[in-house]
Chains A and B, each alone.
Chain A
């Protein structure tokens, strides 16, 4: 089945620990995105990547890092510098193009909790 997978479903982080969230897609999409969702708020863009080996900061990149070594994969690391990491993290992907091609499709999400 084609789609976007995220793992793990739930992740617990201890103080001072870096954790990595996985995002994989087999849709052959060029662009991938990471969002953070907090209760009662819309999704906020953390990082995005339009092509392999290139990525850009979104609105709330501080305390996060990403890599894009393969087209299919866009892992997100939540570093110890992120002081309030508890949130629902969503990965998305889209074709690079115009019009309907720009629709972003989402993975099932990872809920990160701080111990």
Chain B
């Protein structure tokens, strides 16, 4: 059975801190790994990663994939209160399998 495990489950940081979220996976036919941000409603797409070692960046967010060790990390630098959300990792083989998410709370 496909498995996606995110850690930590939750964390609280102060504005300006850097956050690193982890996602490890076991799937049969890996195609890609996706990160989403969910603020109470619909998850919004952040990144899709298909190749190892190639960092994707969007503003203060960045992510990288290691297909040998089967994990990905999502970094958020200079955190702001607007970064408070649940961050979901999902892995695509023939379907999308989601982790339970990491709840990030950024305090002013």
Contact among B36, B43, B44, B92 for A102, CB-based, below 8 A: B92
Chain B: residues with Cβ within 8 Å of the partner, total of: 22
Residues from chain B with Cβ under 8 Å of A45 in the complex: 95-97
Residues from chain B with Cβ under 8 Å of A48 in the complex: 95
Bound complex: CA A90 to CA B32 (Å): 21
Chain B 29-70 against A: per-residue CB contact (8 Å), 1 yes, 0 no? 001101010000111110010100000000000000000000
The minimal Cβ–Cβ distance linking B96 to chain A, given in whole angstroms, is 6
Given contacts A100-B48, A102-B32, contact A107 B100 (CB under 8 A): no
> A42 and B99: CB pair below 8 A?
yes
- A41 in the interface (beta carbon within 8 A): yes
- A103 in the interface (beta carbon within 8 A): yes
Residues from chain B with Cβ under 8 Å of A99 in the complex: 32, 48, 50
Q: By DSSP majority rule, is chain B's interface helix, strand, loop, or mixed?
A: strand
> B100 and A103: CB pair below 8 A?
no
The minimal Cβ–Cβ distance linking B10 to chain A, given in whole angstroms, is 10
Query: Chain A, interface size: which category?
Result: 20 to 34
- B13 in the interface (beta carbon within 8 A): no
Bound complex: CA A108 to CA B50 (Å): 27
Contact among B31, B42, B97 for A90, CB-based, below 8 A: B42
> A42 and B32: CB pair below 8 A?
no
Bound complex: CA A104 to CA B97 (Å): 12
> A40 and B95: CB pair below 8 A?
no
Given contacts A99-B32, A109-B42, contact A43 B98 (CB under 8 A): yes
Binding site for B on A (CB under 8 A): 4, 33, 35, 40-45, 48, 58, 90, 98-100, 102-109
Q: Provide 17 A-B residue pairs closer than 8 Å at the C-beta atoms, listed in order of the A residue.
A: A42-B90, A42-B97, A42-B99, A42-B100, A43-B96, A45-B97, A48-B95, A90-B42, A90-B43, A99-B32, A99-B50, A103-B34, A103-B48, A104-B45, A104-B96, A105-B45, A106-B44
